[in-house]
Amino acid sequence: MPRTALLVSAALLTALLSPTASHAADDPAPVPVDRFEGEVPFASQPAEGIFTWGSGTDDPPALQLTARSDAPEGAEVLTGSYDISGYGGFTHDYASTEPAHDWSARKGIRFWWDGQDNGKKVAFEIKDGGANGEASELWTTSFTDDWTGWRQVEIPFTDFVYRTDYQPVGGIDHVLGLTGMWGYAVTLPVGVKGRFAMDDVELYGRADQSLRANVTTDAAVYPVKEGGTAAVKVTVATTGSAPIDDPVTVAYETAGGTADPGKDYTPVSGTLTFPAGTASGTSKTIEVPTLRDKAAESAETVPLKLTVTGAKAPAETPQVVVDAHGLPYLDAKLPVRKRVADLVSRMSLAEKAGQMTQAERGAVGDGGDIATYALGSLLSGGGSTPTPNTPEAWAKMIDAFQLRARATRFQIPLIYGVDAVHGHNNLSGATVMPHNIGIGATRDPRLAEQAGAVTAAEVRATGIPWDFAPCLCVSRDERWGRSYESFGEDPALVQSMETVIQGLQGRANGRDLSRNDKVLATAKHFVGDGGTEYGSSTTGTYKIDQGVTKVTRQQLEAVHLAPFETAVDRGIGTVMPSYSSLDVLGDGQGPVKMHARADMINGVLKDRMGFDGFVISDWNAIDQLPGDYASHVRTSVDAGLDMMMVPYTYKDFTGTLVDEVKAGRISERRIDDAVSRILTQKFRLGLFEHPYADTTGAAAIGSPEHRAVARRAAAESQVLLKNSGGLLPLKKSEKVYVAGSDADDIGNQSGGWTLTWQGSSGNITPGTTILQGMREAGGNLTYSKDASAPTDGYDVGVVVVGETPYAEGVGDVGNGHSLQLSAADRATVDKVCAAMKCAVLIVSGRPQLIGDRLDGIDALVASWLPGTEGEGVADVLYGKLPFTGQLPVTWPRSESQLPINVGDASYDPQFPYGWGLTTLTRVPQGGATTLRALALAATAAERAGADRTGRELVAEARLLVQQKVGQRITEPVAKPFADADHLLLTGRYGEAVQKLTEAYRAA
């Protein structure tokens, strides 16, 4: 799923006024911030200056000071042009070598803007506290450019809100103090080519108390059991944290709502007074008693109206909620199916529509819409995190959203989802596992389960009960930008790794889902996303992702559907369809988007396979269906989708769904089925009894025990492709020259879907790089990233090169990416390997074309994307553990061979599927006679059901064959060798050894 777009959390300006209209008679003279007469240079920190920024090289705007006769002040104004695809804007930072400025005596900030009447929002933020302008808290608002010509924009400081989507230092105190200010920034509109002009930024007005003092409550919702008393804490606080100058009064009364006064609660009213001189942060409490009766009831609300004098009132009226009680669906002793049936029978159509809706956390702001639209689910897109990005902040955020759901009639808890595709990868400090392609290389189902268990424990400890993983795609073309999300190209390998489902969910019957270390898993992307044809995508500049999969019915069943059947047998809780289209040859339908394929979702998944969980759409995927929006909704719901991921359009979806049902175009039976499926999983997860985060496991997030699992996975994922002269493992006595772009870059070795959707290079999360792991292993190392340091006098070189992070179609080959190493990487390999014996490690999500340099490389390792535990790579480099990994995909000789997969009629790769040398101390010896004996023994083991013995016998035969073949891998060798690994995974051990014998003879 795509990451969430950069979010501007903004309050619309309360006024766009001329200075004469807004000035009070006793206002002090304004204080200039920028006159744009050349007094502030174009410069960046540590000096004071104005500078631009953006998400890419084309995104920063072009700025200049321009003389204009119509300048509102002085002779010059700041002008600029922009054409932004990601994000971009400009900043004025004060000098970091000088003290910060104090703006607390002022009412706000204002400036002149030359309106273009483009209807676009322009974000304006100020920088409060911290060490300097680039290490401060960001507070933001926005205005809409909907006028022509110069207008002065005035922004009271009370309009600024804490920015929730990004903070450079993770937040400081979440208080706009105004006493340590470092400047401002302007974020320009995206997706429109434009120009702007700005002049005379200044501080204006006097900070009177009604603007700088505010009254808040400690929550928006106060659930209380029937007969209990709700305590509403009311706090007065000031901008700048000074005591209040004048009294503040808060008159309160209970009025309105769905609860009956005198029957459900005792009405209260009165006034709280905070005298002049009261310290900022002082609180007083209002108590609202509720009454007990004998009737079973749904939840009832008691709004507490607050009228504030002398300060800004709370943004919304707090609500006391008398909890639902006595109804059958609340009885945990009843079977889940009865609880579901009872609850569905009570729900309105609008409430059912809400349960079928999933919104992005950034779209719902403080969460008021959760109750308004009875939303059933929220998610975090890639990189959509709380600030600070800590386990505590995640739990606090999700608990706040769950609290909002308590204000609904039946208090149905939210189910919060996140893409934890290789560990809890959105969370800073989490244990980041190797991506699935590396897990597939381990050939270790038990380790896959352990990795899933660690992921589940870390995810659930932050309050999240649902993981959009695992990806069960069978990757058939490594040009695909998602190929690293696949366990491999062989459906049998993917099926063998589905033990990860038990790691995530526990037992297949769902009885472990309520545990505080398990989550609901998602099998994705149904079906065929790994088989799309190159060039078939119609999504932007994508080449293969979200394209068309053309297969026969037999290929569909054998390759792409098989892993989902296994997932259903393992009790998978949810399934996510693919963005891609499916074209089953001979069925007469042509390519049809998977989100519209009722024959696959209803017919195959639900009816034939017996899937009893619920189906969740991908991010905005229904928008890719043909027709108008009503047909998008109708088609997808009728196709079998139960919940729609509509991140920012949840209002449109719920309204349209209700309209379609009322019009009879979607049946109520279909709606009830969808809602029943969703509620079943919520009950199984124990959310009705425990909706809030259980953080008892939070201390284990990123713990040594969890990292040990990731370290083992990283070690077992390493595939030794070549090892001339036994160069590996290294000896600690050897003097080693380490180089390469990925040797000391934890962002690169973690890949996409790490902290953000696309991931990024650099020191982005705690962990150990490969270089650090080698140092900790005791190696005698010299490091030179670009091999610029002298290369004389070393025993061996280790060059770590490969890809930089990407995700989804952004990483498609031909969309700014290739299977070739970068020019810098190639130069580093050439320099080091020409100077000494060398081992090259390729850190990547897919094979890289290395054949033209293979003769000059002594040892070659496919390191994949090992995650945060670089010690695991060092463990095999230095022989603490042996290399045991095997290729989960075919390693091609050239891009022209793609797609190339095990089982192809023509098969001549650089390295075949299943290839992987070992550094075990004992490598099997023998020849044809030994292989005949192994074949007989393997056949006997197969007949006896002795799977472990059968696998061990095939492994011994494989190592024996690899030893003879060396690097003389020809088509007659490669084809039977790859076929043997597929036969092994399908339990045909005797045939596997026979195929290996065929490869041995061909060698």
Three-state DSSP state, 961 = helix
Q: How many Å apart are CA 320 and CA 472, to the nearest integer?
A: 45
Using pLDDT thresholds of 50, 70 and 90, give the confidence band for residue 342: very high
pLDDT value at residue 192? 82
The mean predicted confidence, pLDDT, of the chain is 94
95 pLDDT exceeds 80? Answer: yes
Three-state DSSP state, 928 = helix
Q: Amino acid letter at 713?
A: A
21 pLDDT exceeds 50? Answer: no
Three-state DSSP state, 937 = helix
What is the phi-psi region of residue 401: left when phi exceeds 0, alpha when psi lies from -120 to 50, beta otherwise? alpha
Q: 488: which 2 tokens?
A: 């491999």
pLDDT value at residue 24? 52
Q: How many Å apart are CA 762 and CA 786, to the nearest integer?
A: 16
92 sits in which H/E element: strand 88-93
Burial (0-12, 13-18, 19+ Cβ within 10 Å), 788 = exposed
Q: 3: which 2 tokens?
A: 């990451």
Could you list the active site residues?
618, 808
Q: How many Å apart are CA 375 and CA 365, to the nearest integer?
A: 13
**Alpha-helical regions (H) of 685-794:** 704-717, 746-750, 770-776
Q: Print the SS3 string covering 577-629.
A: ECCCEEEECCCCCCCEEHHHCHHHHHHHHHHHCCCCCEEECCCCHHHHCCCCH
Q: Are 491 and 656 spatial neighbours (Cβ–Cβ below 8 Å)?
A: no
Residues in Cβ contact with 486 at an 8 Å cutoff, skipping those fewer than 6 apart: 436, 437, 440, 471, 473, 474, 475, 494, 530, 888, 889
2 pLDDT exceeds 50? Answer: no
Averaged over 360-387, what is the pLDDT?
94
250 sits in which H/E element: strand 248-254
Identify the residue whose tokens are 């997860």.
685
Count Cα neighbours of 326 within 13 Å in the Cβ-side half-sphere. 11
Per 3-state DSSP, the chain is made up of helix, strand and coil in percentages (nearest 5) of 30, 25, 45
Q: 732: which 2 tokens?
A: 């600690």
Q: How many Å apart are CA 624 and CA 629, to the nearest integer?
A: 10
Q: How many Å apart are CA 1001 and CA 993, to the nearest integer?
A: 12
Q: What is the pTM of this model?
A: 0.86
* Phi, psi (degrees; rounded to nearest 5) at 722: -150, 145
- pLDDT over 70, % of the chain: 97
Q: 909: which 2 tokens?
A: 């790769």
Using pLDDT thresholds of 50, 70 and 90, give the confidence band for residue 920: confident
Which tens digits make up the pLDDT trace of 848-899?
999 999 999 999 999 999 999 999 999 999 999 999 999 999 999 999 999 9
Which tens digits make up the pLDDT trace of 561-609?
999 999 999 999 999 999 999 999 999 999 999 999 999 999 999 999 9
6 pLDDT exceeds 70? Answer: no
Q: 800: which 2 tokens?
A: 């770590």
Kindly give the pairing relationship between strand 377-380 and strand 796-802.
unpaired
Residues in Cβ contact with 699 at an 8 Å cutoff, skipping those fewer than 6 apart: none
Q: How many Å apart are CA 892 and CA 91, to the nearest integer?
A: 48
Averaged over 973-989, what is the pLDDT?
98
840 pLDDT exceeds 70? Answer: yes
451 pairs with which residues across the strands? Answer: none
Asked whether the bond before 577 is cis by omega within 30 degrees of 0, the reply is no
Q: Are 977 and 912 spatial neighbours (Cβ–Cβ below 8 Å)?
A: yes
18 pLDDT exceeds 50? Answer: no
7 pLDDT exceeds 80? Answer: no
Kindly give the pairing relationship between strand 415-418 and strand 377-380.
parallel
4 pLDDT exceeds 60? Answer: no
Which tens digits make up the pLDDT trace of 482-513?
999 999 999 999 999 999 999 999 999 999 99
Using pLDDT thresholds of 50, 70 and 90, give the confidence band for residue 25: low
Residues in Cβ contact with 507 at an 8 Å cutoff, skipping those fewer than 6 apart: 571
164 pLDDT exceeds 90? Answer: no
Using pLDDT thresholds of 50, 70 and 90, give the confidence band for residue 176: confident
Query: 954, 363, 245, 841: which is closest to 645 by C-alpha?
Result: 363
Query: 158, 1, 127: which is closest to 758 by C-alpha?
Result: 1
Which tens digits make up the pLDDT trace of 226-274?
999 999 999 999 877 889 989 999 999 999 999 999 999 999 999 999 9
Using pLDDT thresholds of 50, 70 and 90, give the confidence band for residue 175: confident
Q: How many Å apart are CA 801 and CA 841, to the nearest integer?
A: 6
Backbone CA torsion sign across 935, 937, 942, 947: negative
Query: 704, 706, 723, 750: which is closest to 873 by C-alpha?
Result: 750
Using pLDDT thresholds of 50, 70 and 90, give the confidence band for residue 20: very low
Using pLDDT thresholds of 50, 70 and 90, give the confidence band for residue 5: very low
Query: 715, 753, 888: which is closest to 482 by C-alpha?
Result: 753
Which tens digits make up the pLDDT trace of 887-914?
999 999 999 999 999 999 999 999 999 9
173 pLDDT exceeds 80? Answer: no
Using pLDDT thresholds of 50, 70 and 90, give the confidence band for residue 13: very low
Q: Amino acid letter at 659?
A: D
Q: Are 177 and 126 spatial neighbours (Cβ–Cβ below 8 Å)?
A: no
